[in-house]
Amino acid sequence: MGKSSVANNAYSNAISYSVRTNIMSTIGFIGLGQMGSPMAANLIKGGHSLQVFDVNADAVAQMVTLGAVAAQTPGQAASQADFVVTMLPNGDLVRKVIFADDGVISTLSKQALIIDMSTIHPFETDALISDLSLQGFEMMEAPVGRTSVHAIKGELLILAGGTKSQIERAQPLFDCMGSETIDAGGPGKGIRVKIINNYMSIALNALSAEAATLSEAIGLEFEDAMKVMSGTPAGNGHFTTTWPGKVLAGDLSPAFMVDHAHKDLGIALDLANQVNVPMPCGAASRELYSITRAAGRGRQDWTSVFEQLRVTSGLEAKIK
Amino acid sequence: MGKSSVANNAYSNAISYSVRTNIMSTIGFIGLGQMGSPMAANLIKGGHSLQVFDVNADAVAQMVTLGAVAAQTPGQAASQADFVVTMLPNGDLVRKVIFADDGVISTLSKQALIIDMSTIHPFETDALISDLSLQGFEMMEAPVGRTSVHAIKGELLILAGGTKSQIERAQPLFDCMGSETIDAGGPGKGIRVKIINNYMSIALNALSAEAATLSEAIGLEFEDAMKVMSGTPAGNGHFTTTWPGKVLAGDLSPAFMVDHAHKDLGIALDLANQVNVPMPCGAASRELYSITRAAGRGRQDWTSVFEQLRVTSGLEAKIK
Amino acid sequence: MGKSSVANNAYSNAISYSVRTNIMSTIGFIGLGQMGSPMAANLIKGGHSLQVFDVNADAVAQMVTLGAVAAQTPGQAASQADFVVTMLPNGDLVRKVIFADDGVISTLSKQALIIDMSTIHPFETDALISDLSLQGFEMMEAPVGRTSVHAIKGELLILAGGTKSQIERAQPLFDCMGSETIDAGGPGKGIRVKIINNYMSIALNALSAEAATLSEAIGLEFEDAMKVMSGTPAGNGHFTTTWPGKVLAGDLSPAFMVDHAHKDLGIALDLANQVNVPMPCGAASRELYSITRAAGRGRQDWTSVFEQLRVTSGLEAKIK
Amino acid sequence: MGKSSVANNAYSNAISYSVRTNIMSTIGFIGLGQMGSPMAANLIKGGHSLQVFDVNADAVAQMVTLGAVAAQTPGQAASQADFVVTMLPNGDLVRKVIFADDGVISTLSKQALIIDMSTIHPFETDALISDLSLQGFEMMEAPVGRTSVHAIKGELLILAGGTKSQIERAQPLFDCMGSETIDAGGPGKGIRVKIINNYMSIALNALSAEAATLSEAIGLEFEDAMKVMSGTPAGNGHFTTTWPGKVLAGDLSPAFMVDHAHKDLGIALDLANQVNVPMPCGAASRELYSITRAAGRGRQDWTSVFEQLRVTSGLEAKIK
C-alpha cells in the first residue's frame, strides 16, 4: 500500500498513470501550521486544486501565491471539494471546523471524503467518524509520522485509518505528502497507532535522558556507554530482540530473571540517588517490577513484566 | 581488544598460539551459580586449572567432574592462583569472600590478579579496589553482558574495567568466557557501563510493556503497532536517531517541539486512564517534560529533555 | 458568611427570617445524579420552586413527587428562573446544557444567576464565565465538598467562587444545601480550591495505602503504626505542623535535613522492594528529594522541598 | 509505659524515686552527632556514668566537660557497662562498632543490654539482634522521633522495640532522653514503626509541596486553600477520617467513588501540566487508581485503593 509500489505501477504503466492524472482533485485544506503548510504545498505541486482556510492570514496568503484559493470559512473551503483535509492542533478545533454553522459540512458534498490528519485523541476521532456518519458524511483519519523537514520534502509517514476503499481513494493525496503509507488496520486504527508510537518514543526520550545523565554523573563518557548499549536492548529496544523468543512466544522460562532485573535496577537507582540524578521513569519502572514479583513472577523471564501489566490492566492472561 | 581479533591471531598463527598455551593459568573461581558455572566450565575447556569454591556442594561437585579442584574455603581456592575470579550475587558477598579470615587474601599471592565479574554497586567496586590496593593486592572488574545461554556458549560480552595491562593480562580468560571484550575506559568503568546499560534496558522493558498493553487495550494488533514503531525512535531508540543531530550536536532548534511531545503524551495518558492501563513510567516521563517546559524550553527540540535533566541534576549546562 | 452565622441570625431574629422567606426563588436545576438529587430536594424543602431537567427520567419523576416541575429541555428549566444550578459530571456537559440550541441561555433572563456546582476543569469554568459574560449572562461557581451523605442532610461544604454580591445573592440557596460556605476569594477560585483540595486528599489516600500496606507486609499491626503516626506529620500533615515555622516563615535552617529525609526514604523503598510492596508515590517523592539535593539544598530543612518545587516550576524563589 | 506515668510515680512517691536513683547505670555511648550529643548529655544530667566514643574528637571532648569518660575504642566504651547505646548514621557503622576487633562485644558483659537508637534498615536490626544473640549478647532497638530541638530538651519520642523486660530495663534511660515511650510491640518493631512513620511523613511533605505549588501557580492564596484543606482529609489525613468507617471496617460501599476520585485527579494533573507544575507523586497516584479501576473497583469507595494495593502486593484480600 506504500507509495513505492503505487509509484512503481504508475511509472511502469502509462495507462494507469494517465488515469491517475485524470483524477486531480479539488481539496479543501484546513490548518496551515508548521506541518499543514508544506503538506498543502505538496498537494498543489501534485496538481491538485486547493481551497485553503486558516485563521492565520499570512499562512493563507502564502498558499495563495502557490496557486491555492483562499476560503473565508471552513465551509467555503469544503464547497465542491472531493476531499477535505484537516491538520489542526486538537480535536476541539477539528470538531468546530467541521460542525460549526459555517463549517465543513455546511457545504460539503456527501460524496466527498474528509481526511483528518491531525494528532488528536482517538476517542475524538471515533466520535467524529460516528457523528459524521449519522449525517451521511464520510471521514477517515491519517495522522503523520516524522518531522516538518519530511513534510517539506513530501516524505512523511502516513498512518492511514480507514476502510480499504477510503485508503485507496486517498492514496494519490498521501503520495503527494508522504513517502510511505501504512494501512493501520481500519477506521480509528491510524490515530491509535500514532498515539502508541508517540507515547513510546516520547517517554523513551525521557528515559534515555535519565540513563545518559547518570552516565555523565558517574564519570562515564557517553560514547563508551553507547558502545555497549548499541549492541543490547538498551539501544535496540525489546520488541525485536528479547520479546519475540520469550513473552511473545508464550515462553517465560528465564533468560534473565525478573528478580535479577529488579536487583540491578535497585543498584542503578541507589547510585543515581547518591549522585543526585533524579530518575523518575526508572523509579516508576522498579515499582512495576515489584508488582511483577508480588504476583509470583520473580523467577520468570524479565519479559513477563508485559504479561503481568496486561493482567494488572484487567486483560486476560495469555500465558499459563 | 575483542576476542575476534585475538582469536584470529591465535588460530592463524601457531607461534602466537603456542605462546598462549604456555601461559595456561591457575584460577581460583568463586561463585558457581547460573552464570558462574558455565563460565568456569569454559575456563577449564580453555585449558586452565581451576580451584573452585561455592557454598552449593552440588555445583562444586559438577565442576570437579569437569576437572576442577574443590576448595573448602575462598582462601584455599586462591592459594597459588594466578587469577581469582568472583561471580557472586552482591557486593557484600564479594567483600566477604575476599576479606574474611579464610578469604581470598589470606593466601593470595600479591602477583595475582582478582577479577570481579559480579554485578554489584559501582561504589562497592571502587571500595574493593581501593581497600585491596592498601594491602598490596590488585583487582579489576569485568561484569558481563548477555544471558546464561551465552555463558554456556562462551559468547558473553565482557565489560572490562581496569588498566590496559590488567585487561591485556586477563584477556585469555575473557576469551574463554566471552566473544567480545569492551574496554570500558579504566578501573571502575566496566561496572559503571554495566549498570547504565542494565538500567536502560530494564526500565525500557517496563516502558515497552506499557506501550504494548495500551496498544492491546485500545484494539490495535501488536504487529500493526510494531510495523510503525520499527521505523521510528519508538523502536530504535534515540541515541542513534534523534539525538546525534540535535542535543548531542548542541542544536535545540525544534524538529519536534517539547510542547508537542508533552501534548501527545497527555493524550496517551488520558487514553490509558480511560481504558484502565496503568502507565507509571509514562506518567513519570510527562512530569519530566513539565519540568522542561517550566524551564522555558517548550519550543525547543524534544531532545532538550536530556539537557534539562542534566541541569536539574546539578551538572553544568552544555548548550547556551 | 457560613450558614451558622446566617442561621443564628435567622433564628434569633424573626424579622430577618421572614425577610428571607419572602425571597423564595424560582430555580432551574439541571443534573439529578447522586449529589444533584438530594441538593435539589433540599432546595425544595427550603421553599424554593424548582424546574428540573435530567436525561434520567426516573430522577426527574422522583423530584416531581417532591414538588418540582419537570422540564423537557435545559431551556425550559431556565425559563423565568432567578437561578440556574448545574450539577453535572463534566465541563463539556455544562457547556452543552448552557449553550445548546435549547440550552439554558435560550430562555434565561439576564437578571438571573447561573451557579455551576459541578467539579470541572478550572479553565473550563473561566471560559464559561467569560463566554457567558460576552452574551450578557452572569455565572458563578460553587463546587461542593463532603459526600452524598452530607448532600442528603444539607450539610455540604460550599466552595463559593464569585463576586461578593454573587455569593450574597446565592447564600440562601447554599444554606439549603450546605452547612458551611467558604468564600474562596473571587470568580474561579471556588473551583480552584476544590481541585487543590481534592488533589491533595485523593493522592494522599494512595500514599496512605502504600504506608499501611508496607506496615502490614513487614509484620506491624496497623494500630501500632497509627499510635505513632497520629502524633507526627505522618498523621497530621505538614501544613499546620512543620511548614509554618520553617518554609512558610522563610526559615530553611534544618530541624530535619533533606539529606536525612532522603536517606530514610531510601531505606523504606528498599524495604518495600524487598517485600514486594509497590510504592510508586513514595518512589516518585524520592526523586523530588533528589532534585532538591541536586539544587544544593541537602543540608536545608526538609520543608525546602516546597521552595525547590516552586523554583522547578518556574515560580520565583521566595527564600534567599 | 510512657514517661508521664513513670514520672508521676517517681515524683509522687519518694521511695520509688529513691529506688530509681539507686540504680544509676554505667553506659557506653557511641555516636555523638547532632542527635547523639544532646541525648548523651541528658543521660549524664540524669545521673548516669557515661563512657563515650566517637571519631569526632571535639564531640568527645565536649561530652567530657559534662562529666563523661572518653573511650579510645567502642570496646573501651563498652567495658563494664550496664548498657551500650549506639546512635549512628547507618547500619554498617552500627555493625562495625559492635563486631570489630576492638568493638563493643570485645569487652561487653553478657549481662549488659545494647540499645541501638539509630535509624537503620529494619533487616539490619533483625540481623544484629540475631547475630548478637548467637554470641550470647542482648540487643534491643529504640529509634527516636521528633527533632534535635527535642533531643536537647529531653523530649524525644522513643519507639521501643524489644521484649517487655528489655523495655522496662531501658526505661530509666529513655526517660532521660525522651518525654514519651511507645512500646512498638516487640523486637524489631520499633525500627519498623519508625521507618513507616518516616516514609509517610517524608513522602507526604513532597506531596504537600505539589499541592501548594499548584495552588500558587493557579492564583490561589495558600491561606484560602488551607482554610478548606484544614477541614478535610487533605489536611487531616485519612487514617482517622475516611478509613475507619470504610476500608478498615470492611465496607467499600461508596461515600466517594474511585471513579470520581480518578476523574478529579485527572483534572488536577491536566491543570498542573498546563501551568508547568511537575507533580510526580500525584501522577504516580493516578496510576494506582488506574490499577484499582482495572481490578473492577471503580464504583467502590475510594478507600478501596488500600485493599487493592494489599492484593497487588500479594497479601490476602480482607474484604470479600
Q: What is the pLDDT of residues B212-227, one digit of tens each?
A: 999 999 999 988 999 8
Segment A29-49 shows an average pLDDT of 97
- Chain C contacts of D203, Cβ < 8 Å? 207, 210-211, 265, 281-282, 285
| DSSP type of residue D257 | B
Q: Is the pLDDT reported for residue B208 higher than 60?
A: yes
Q: How confident is the model at residue D42 (pLDDT cuts 50, 70, 90)?
A: very high
Question: What whole-number distance in Å separates Cα of residue A231 and Cα of residue B85?
Answer: 25
Pairing assessment for the beta strands A178-183 and C49-53 based on DSSP bridges: unpaired
A207-312 topology per CATH:
N-(1-d-carboxylethyl)-l-norvaline Dehydrogenase; domain 2 (1.10.1040)
Quote the pLDDT of residue A148: 87
Q: Give per-residue pLDDT as tens, B232-282.
A: 999 999 999 999 999 999 999 999 999 999 999 999 999 999 999 999 999
Confirm if D161 and D117 have CB atoms less than 8 A apart.
Answer: no
Segment D107-129 shows an average pLDDT of 98
Question: What whole-number distance in Å separates Cα of residue B94 and Cα of residue C274?
Answer: 20
Q: Can you list the positions of beta strands (E) in chain A?
A: 26-30, 49-53, 69-70, 83-86, 113-116, 138-141, 144-145, 156-160, 178-183
Q: Is the pLDDT reported for residue A152 higher than 50?
A: yes
Q: Is the pLDDT reported for residue B12 higher than 70?
A: no
Q: How confident is the model at residue B148 (pLDDT cuts 50, 70, 90)?
A: confident
Q: How confident is the model at residue B129 (pLDDT cuts 50, 70, 90)?
A: very high
Q: How confident is the model at residue A176 (pLDDT cuts 50, 70, 90)?
A: very high
Q: Is the pLDDT reported for residue A150 higher than 60?
A: yes
Among residues B301, B215, B212, the alpha carbon closest in space to that of B250 is found at B301
Q: Is the pLDDT reported for residue B5 higher than 60?
A: no
Whether chain C has a CB inside 8 Å of the CB on B312: the answer is yes
Q: Which amino acid is at A59?
A: A
Burial (CB < 10 A; 0-12, 13-18, 19+), residue B11, is exposed
Segment A300-320 shows an average pLDDT of 96
Confirm if C26 and C51 have CB atoms less than 8 A apart.
Answer: yes
Segment D137-153 shows an average pLDDT of 95
Q: How confident is the model at residue D127 (pLDDT cuts 50, 70, 90)?
A: very high
Quote the pLDDT of residue C13: 32
Residues A224-235: b if buried by 16+ CB within 10 A, e if exposed = bbbbbbebbbbb
- Chain C contacts of A288, Cβ < 8 Å? 278
- Å from D269 to nearest chain B CA? 10
Interface of C with A in 84-143 (CB under 8 A): none
Quote the pLDDT of residue D3: 37
Choose between D41 and A5: higher pLDDT.
D41
In which residue are the cell numbers 580451584 written?
A: B51
Average model confidence (pLDDT) across chain B: 93
Whether chain A has a CB inside 8 Å of the CB on C287: the answer is yes
Quote the pLDDT of residue A23: 75
Q: How confident is the model at residue D8 (pLDDT cuts 50, 70, 90)?
A: very low
Segment B111-117 shows an average pLDDT of 98
Q: Which residues of B participate in catalysis according to the annotation?
A: 194
- Chain C contacts of B314, Cβ < 8 Å? 294-296
- Å from A266 to nearest chain C CA? 8
Q: Which amino acid is at D126?
A: D
- Å from B319 to nearest chain D CA? 22
Q: Which amino acid is at A305?
A: V
Q: Which residues of A participate in catalysis according to the annotation?
A: 194
Chain B, nearest residue to A247 by Cα: B209
Q: Is the pLDDT reported for residue B1 higher than 80?
A: no
Q: Is the pLDDT reported for residue A3 higher than 80?
A: no
Mean pLDDT by 10 residues, chain C (320 residues): 33 35 85 97 98 98 98 98 97 97 98 98 98 98 93 97 98 98 96 98 98 97 91 95 96 95 98 98 98 98 98 94
- Chain B contacts of D272, Cβ < 8 Å? 290
Segment A29-56 shows an average pLDDT of 97
Question: What whole-number distance in Å separates Cα of residue B28 and Cα of residue B23?
Answer: 16
Q: Is the pLDDT reported for residue A186 higher than 50?
A: yes
Whether chain C has a CB inside 8 Å of the CB on B280: the answer is yes
| DSSP type of residue B247 | G
Among residues A290, A287, A306, the alpha carbon closest in space to that of A298 is found at A290
Interface of C with D in 289-308 (CB under 8 A): 289, 302-303, 305-306, 308
Q: Is the pLDDT reported for residue A16 higher than 60?
A: no
Residue C22: Cβ within 10 Å count:
7
Q: Which of A18-22, A266-270, B289-293, D116-120 has the lowest mean pLDDT?
A: A18-22
Segment D16-44 shows an average pLDDT of 83
Q: Is the pLDDT reported for residue D65 higher than 60?
A: yes
Quote the pLDDT of residue C320: 78
Confirm if A98 and A74 have CB atoms less than 8 A apart.
Answer: yes
Confirm if A282 and A212 have CB atoms less than 8 A apart.
Answer: no
- Which chains share 3+ C-beta pairs under 8 angstroms with B? A, C, D
Among C313, C315, C316, the strongest candidate for a mutation testing the B interface, having the largest count of B CBs within 10 A, is C313
Q: Give per-residue pLDDT as tens, B40-88.
A: 999 999 999 999 999 999 999 999 999 999 999 999 999 999 999 999 9
Burial (CB < 10 A; 0-12, 13-18, 19+), residue A14, is exposed
Whether chain B has a CB inside 8 Å of the CB on D271: the answer is no
- % of chain B surpassing 70 pLDDT: 93
Average model confidence (pLDDT) across chain A: 93
C5-187 topology per CATH:
Rossmann fold (3.40.50)
Residues in contact with A5: Cβ distance below 8 Å, sequence separation at least 6, in sequence order: none
Q: Do C294 and B314 touch (CB under 8 A)?
A: yes
Q: Which amino acid is at C281?
A: C
In which residue are the cell numbers 501557580 written?
A: D217
Quote the pLDDT of residue D207: 98
Q: Is the pLDDT reported for residue D4 higher than 60?
A: no
Q: Which of A89-93, B24-28, C223-227, D213-217 has the lowest mean pLDDT?
A: C223-227
Terminal alpha carbon distance of chain A: 38
Segment D87-102 shows an average pLDDT of 97
pTM metric for this prediction: 0.92
In which residue ranges of chain A is CATH 1.10.1040.10 found? Answer: 207-312
In which residue are the cell numbers 541515541 written?
A: B239
In which residue ranges of chain D is CATH 3.40.50.720 found? Answer: 5-187
| DSSP type of residue B161 | B
- Chain D contacts of A206, Cβ < 8 Å? none
Quote the pLDDT of residue A285: 98
Grid coordinates belonging to A313: 490492566
- Å from A311 to nearest chain D CA? 9
Q: Which amino acid is at A35?
A: M
* Alpha helices, H only, chain A: 3-12, 14-22, 36-45, 57-65, 74-78, 91-99, 122-134, 148-153, 164-177, 189-217, 222-229, 233-236, 258-274, 280-294, 304-312
Grid coordinates belonging to C136: 450578557
Segment D35-40 shows an average pLDDT of 98
Grid coordinates belonging to B319: 548548550
Among residues D216, D221, D246, the alpha carbon closest in space to that of D233 is found at D246
Whether chain D has a CB inside 8 Å of the CB on A202: the answer is no
- % of chain B surpassing 90 pLDDT: 90
